[in-house]
Chain A
Amino acid sequence: MSIGALIGVFIGAALINNFVLSNFLGICPFLGVSRKIDMAFGMGCAVTFVMTVSGVVTWLIVHAILTPIGAAMGNPEALYFLKYAAFIMVIASMVQLVEMYLRKFFPSLYTAFGVFLPLITTNCAILGACLLIDMKPEYSNLLSATVFAFAGGVGFMLAITIMAGIREHIRFSDVPRCLQGAGITLLTAAILALAFMGFTGMGK
């Protein structure tokens, strides 16, 4: 794959088809952990790590374990029904790993995340990334799959950090009473998504 195509994959996943703002995946942490910039950035880093590693490992599981074993039995797709179980297992394990790592080296971040850290396990953006890699033929080589997964995480980090920056300012703004809290947050997310629509058409 040419370097240009890889850059295209990166921009496509991070900006044009941003997981949060275009695909509406991973909304839960996007709204839950975007109160402070440093926390949002930490969450973005954790998701990026889990997404990249999960993307690579699930690619390996599909292409190096499930397909060859199936092929040996005569039908390469014979074991594909194990994908979902295997993917979730990979993601859960990676989250556990991140959790242990954070607890050891960044205890303050670990306490700040609270319940949202184990909830990365059920972050649909990550399973979404794994399934998209699996579904789309252009990610059938490991390099582009890795770039896609990493870019998806970077896009998530970008979105959640921008959102946290805006929300830090909203705290000091005169928000109409009926919109305070979740209302203004969702409106902000909507306008942010509209802004990201401007990237549409960059790819081609």
Chain B
Amino acid sequence: MLAMASIDPSSMLAALDGTTLLLAAAVLFGLTLLFATVLGIAKEKLRVEEDPRIGQVTEVLPSANCGGCGFAGCADFAKAVVEKRAACSGCPVGGSKVADRIAAILGIEVVQTFPYRPVVHCGAKSYQRKGSVSYDGVQSCVEANVVGVTQGCVYGCLGFGDCMASCNYDAIRMVDGLPVFDYDKCTGCGACVRACPRNIIEQIPFREDRMLVIACSNKEPGKLVKQVCEVGCIGCKMCQRMLADMFEVKNNLAFVKYDGYAAEEEREKVIAKCPAEVMVYFGKPKPEYAEALTQENA
């Protein structure tokens, strides 16, 4: 058998004459050729049929591989877009320009999206809630919700501010027992939606700076609502009769269909007719809330 394959540097240098070098080049070239052939054949045999659009989308992306889209790189994002796991506007670096080009490749249209921001479906300030009892337990909505009898309405806001505590952006203040959202600070993360034990905070698409919201969640008939609240929805269906595209009454409770959001003057007519005062605007300019916020900050 052959001797141990140890390399002695001095003998190596001595052996490096022209013939050895040529031979070395020839040997390596031969080996390279061999492996290139093997890999070339393997590539043909093991070809994976890939959607050609993935390559096209990858080409229009910025190739920064920054990961800002939440995927491992531009190629991964391109794959996700083609497989409809990601929106074509998902590249934060490329912006709308890249989104348009991706949309052109995929043959789809870029849909304008609205920011989703939270609103609370309860409009009863603490003094408008009936049947409240004094509650000295743990001051949190979750606890009070388990106790269950702290106020007459079992649907409405409890007012202990679990949503305020859950907000990482300091965008919620409790005013008169109701959460008030600071939409300049809010990022729409949804922490408050998850924190609310009564599930009355919902994220709605903000088409305009101010959005109309039904500020009630009570699904009982009107008579029972009147017993527990001064401003609850009584399910009279007036709004549905006036503007069926925008309003719908289910389970004695009105809902706004934001897909059919009507123009302001039509909305105003309905709001004027509503006997229960449950139609409230949420959004940026709200002077009375702004005042309350400045007072608290001062």
Q: Give residues in A with beta carbon < 8 Å to B.
A: 61-63, 65-67, 69, 73, 75-83, 85-86, 89-90, 93, 96-97, 100-101, 103-104, 107, 114, 134-135, 137, 140-141
Residue of chain A at shortest CB distance from B35:
A93
| Size category of the binding interface on chain B | 20 to 34
A residues near B5, Cβ cutoff 8 Å: 62, 77, 80, 83, 134-135
Q: Select B28's contact among A80, A86, A104, A107, beta carbons within 8 Å.
A: A86
The 3 closest A-B pairs by CB, nearest first: A93-B35, A100-B46, A140-B1
Q: List 30 A-B contacts (CB under 8 A).
A: A62-B5, A63-B2, A65-B31, A66-B27, A67-B2, A69-B23, A73-B20, A75-B11, A75-B15, A78-B15, A79-B23, A79-B27, A80-B5, A80-B7, A82-B24, A86-B31, A89-B28, A89-B32, A89-B35, A93-B38, A93-B39, A96-B39, A101-B46, A104-B48, A107-B48, A137-B1, A137-B3, A137-B4, A140-B1, A141-B1
Contact assessment for A82 and B27 in the assembled complex, using a CB-CB cutoff below 8 Å: yes
Instruction: Kindly identify, within residues 1 to 53 of chain B, every residue whose CB is under 8 Å from any CB belonging to chain A.
Output: 1-7, 11-12, 15, 19-20, 23-24, 27-28, 31-32, 35, 38-39, 42-43, 46-48
Contact assessment for B35 and A90 in the assembled complex, using a CB-CB cutoff below 8 Å: yes
| Given known A-B contacts A93-B39, A97-B42, A114-B72, A61 and B31 have beta carbons under 8 A apart | yes
Interchain CA distance A79-B21 in the complex, whole Å: 9
A residues near B11, Cβ cutoff 8 Å: 75, 77
B residues near A97, Cβ cutoff 8 Å: 38-39, 42
Question: In whole Å, how far is A57's beta carbon from the nearest beta carbon of chain B?
Answer: 9
Residue of chain B at shortest CB distance from A107:
B48
Interchain CA distance A89-B29 in the complex, whole Å: 11
Q: Give residues in B with beta carbon < 8 Å to A.
A: 1-7, 11-12, 15, 19-20, 23-24, 27-28, 31-32, 35, 38-39, 42-43, 46-48, 72
Residue of chain B at shortest CB distance from A71:
B2
Interface of A is mostly: helix
Contact assessment for B28 and A82 in the assembled complex, using a CB-CB cutoff below 8 Å: yes
Residue of chain B at shortest CB distance from A133:
B5
Interchain CA distance A19-B249 in the complex, whole Å: 70
| Given known A-B contacts A73-B20, A73-B23, A77-B7, A85 and B35 have beta carbons under 8 A apart | no
Q: A61-B31, A90-B35 are in contact. List 7 more A-B contacts (CB 8 A).
A: A69-B27, A78-B15, A78-B20, A82-B24, A83-B5, A83-B7, A96-B42
B residues near A66, Cβ cutoff 8 Å: 27
Contact assessment for B31 and A89 in the assembled complex, using a CB-CB cutoff below 8 Å: yes
Contact assessment for A103 and B48 in the assembled complex, using a CB-CB cutoff below 8 Å: yes
